[in-house]
Amino acid sequence: NAGVTQTPKFRVLKTGQSMTLLCAQDMNHEYMYWYRQDPGMGLRLIHYSVGEGTTAKGEVPDGYNVSRLKKQNFLLGLESAAPSQTSVYFCASSQGVGYTFGSGTRLTVV
Amino acid sequence: GESVGLHLPTLSVQEGDNSIINCAYSNSASDYFIWYKQESGKGPQFIIDIRSNMDKRQGQRVTVLLNKTVKHLSLQIAATQPGDSAVYFCAVEEPPIIQGAQKLVFGQGTRLTINP
């Protein structure tokens, strides 16, 4: 079982560039989430989705956009990357209780 | 909103000893609590969970204790092994739940090191 798959695993961006992080889940989960993980700060919720075609803001949404066009995919976009967005990004999915996490995308903005 | 804190950022124990990792939360209305394990370069992995109608729950070598009076949560790992070395996070479900989405608030993590 693949579970939750994130692509890419690593990326280096220059300030001002844009990119999209892809999250795909094969468990038919209704709910999907994007978190960022920074040293000493745990995981913070960026955006989440309660179903296909719906998205909502989390704790730290500024500078990010998301889309959920298909139930199995949840995309996180950075329109104009900033050094403050250097982080490890985790996608998760759930169906009621508990999350299944992907293995993360390490993003560096220089 | 909910806030979650851990008492120690690092913990070092001898192989075979028991370890206890602590966590505190702020919202007395919180109902659901989870412990995750994160190994280097990987995503968090579910260990054990507990609901507020319970004080204790046991898994394989792990026990979670919940003290709602002081809003404290702990993870006990028995007979620690080298494979237990990781960062451990507690997570608290933030009420209210919107359309069934489970919004979790994570603590900052405790890095557990097992010494041979």
Q: Which residues of B touch A93 (CB under 8 A)?
A: none
Q: What angle do CA A30, A31, A32 make, to 5 degrees?
A: 130
C-alpha distances (whole Å) from A22 to each of A5, A25, A90 are 8, 10, 10
- Per residue in B27-85, pLDDT (tens digit) is 998 999 999 999 998 999 999 999 999 999 999 999 999 999 999 999 999 999 999 99
Cβ atoms of B85 and B113 closer than 8 Å = yes
Under-50 pLDDT residues of chain A: none
Q: Which residues of B touch A90 (CB under 8 A)?
A: 43-44
Residue A59's closest CA among B93, B101, B91, B105?
A: B105
Judged by phi (left if over 0) then psi (alpha if -120 to 50, else beta), residue A68 lies in beta
Q: What angle do CA B19, B1, B24 make, to 5 degrees?
A: 20
- What whole-number distance in Å separates Cα of residue A31 and Cα of residue A44? 16
Write down the pLDDT at residue B6. 67
Judged by CB atoms closer than 8 Å, whether chains meet at A43 and B99 is answered as: no
Judged by CB atoms closer than 8 Å, whether chains meet at B44 and A99 is answered as: yes
